[in-house]
Structure 1
Amino acid sequence: MYSVLICDDSLVARKQVAKCLPQDWEVAIHFAKDGQEAVGALKEGKGQLLLLDLNMPVMDGYQTLQAIQSEGLNTKVVVISGDVQPEAHDRVKALGAVAFIRKPVSAAELHDVLTSNNLLEAEPESEIDTTPLDPDIRDCYQEITNIAMGRAGDHLARTLNVFVHLPIPNVNLIEVTELHMLLSDIETHERVSAVCQGFVGPGVQGEALCILSDSSLGDVAKILNISGDVDDQKQLELLMDAASILIGTCLSGIAEQLDVSFAQGQPVVLGQHRNISDIINTGKLKWRRTLAIEISYGLEGYNVVCELILLFTEASMEVMNYKLAHLLEDF
Structure 2
Amino acid sequence: MSKYNTTDFTNPSTFILLGIPGLEVTHVWISIPFCAMCFITILGNFTILFIVKTEPSLHEPMYYFLCMLSITDLVVYTSTLPKMLAIFWFNSSEIDFSACLTQMFFIHSFSVMESGILVAMALDRYLAICHPLRHSTILTNPLVAKIGLAVVLRGCIVVLPFPLLARQWPYCRTNIIPQPYCAHIAVVNLACADIRVSSYYGLFVQFCVMGLDGIFIGVSYTQILRAIFILPTKDAWVKTFGTCGSHLFVILAFYIPGLIISLMNRFPQNVPLYFHVLIANFYLLLPPMLHPIIYGVRTKQIRDRLLRLFTHKRA
Query: What's the TM-score bracket when you normalise by the shorter of the two chains?
Result: under 0.3
Normalized per residue, which structure has more helix? 2
Normalized per residue, which structure has more strand? 1
TM-score (norm 1): 0.26
